Amino acid sequence: MATGCRDCTTCTKPGLVRLFQKWLVGLMYLVTVGIAYVIKRGLRSHCPQCNHLLSNHARRRDGSFAD
């Protein structure tokens, strides 16, 4: 389908509409990635030395870090 067909809705849409749809899909991707970044980096506790999640560090029975 190099030139497109004449009956499907995708090929009969104006070029500006198709461009806007592609832009909108890209924007939705960026929003999803941004939300995931905020949840991971902004809402969870990180180690001040290595920036790993604190939940990944081994702890002793008294709550101090074992590593």
Segment 16-52, tens digit of pLDDT? 888 888 899 999 999 999 999 888 888 888 888 888 8
- pTM of structure: 0.52
What gap in Å lies between CA 22 and CA 2, rounded to an integer? 18
Task: Kindly give, in sequence order, each residue whose CB lies less than 8 Å from that of residue 59, ignoring residues fewer than 6 positions away.
Answer: 65, 66
Rg of the chain on CA atoms, in Å: 24
Least confident range from 1-10, 45-54, 55-64: namely 1-10
Question: Domains of the chain: which residue ranges?
Answer: 15-56
Segment 11-20, tens digit of pLDDT? 788 888 888 8
pLDDT for the residue numbered 41: 81
